[in-house]
Amino acid sequence: MKLISCGTLSLSVAFPLFRDFVCGKPRLKFGFLLTIVLAEQVVEVSTSKTGKHGHAKCHFVGIDIFTGKKLEDIVPSSHNCDVPHVNRTDYQLIDISEDGFVSLLTDSGGTKDDLRLPTDESLLTQIKDGFAEGKDLVVSVMSAMGEEQICALKDIGPK
């Protein structure tokens, strides 16, 4: 994974979020935030008061959108944060190759062949079993910061 520090990103990867929206009202809870390394979905925000060590601090608890790991970050409440552009796109599953790549049908009728099967065992099993049973499957692909990953599955019926 790329190491990208806050403040050095191009607008195609992330956009700035000004301090009033980070710790003030409206809060960023359940939105996305870019920590020093990863894109995370914020699940909890708490603010500490100004103390003897300077600024009030915002404590973010989030879930990495690609690995599902819990992440925590503390930033001064007077600083701006970067928010990643996160997109979710649905594709119909066409094929699964022996080397773990999937072939997906795009809305324009083309194919997308550069994604691997997910590492989540439950989702992987659902995809393989549904495909083996001949079901029409639609996968949801989450993309952020130049990375893409299959994150969900929908069964739209038998072929």
Contact assessment for residue 54 and residue 76, using Cβ atoms and an 8 Å cutoff: yes
Q: Which residues contact 8 (CB under 8 A, 6 or more apart)?
A: none
**Strand-strand pairing, 111-116 and 87-96:** unpaired
C-beta of residue 87 within 8 angstroms of C-beta of residue 12: no
pLDDT for 35 equals 55
Identify residue 142 by its one-letter amino acid code.
Answer: M
The CA distances from residue 21 to 14, 25, 42, in Å, are: 16, 6, 13
pLDDT value at residue 29: 46
Domains and CATH numbers, the chain: 14-84 (2.30.30.30), 87-158 (2.40.50.140)
Q: Which pLDDT value is given to residue 72?
A: 85
In 3D space, the residue among 28, 8, 25, 9 whose CA is nearest the CA of residue 17 turns out to be 28
pLDDT in tens, 26-59: 344 445 555 544 577 778 888 888 877 777 888 8
- pTM of the complete model: 0.70
Single-letter amino acid, residue 11: L
Chain-centre distance for alpha carbon 145: 9
pLDDT digits (tens, 9 = 90+) for 65-76: 888 888 888 888
Residues in the chain, total: 159
Q: Which of 65-74, 86-95, 103-112, 113-122 has the lowest mean pLDDT?
A: 65-74
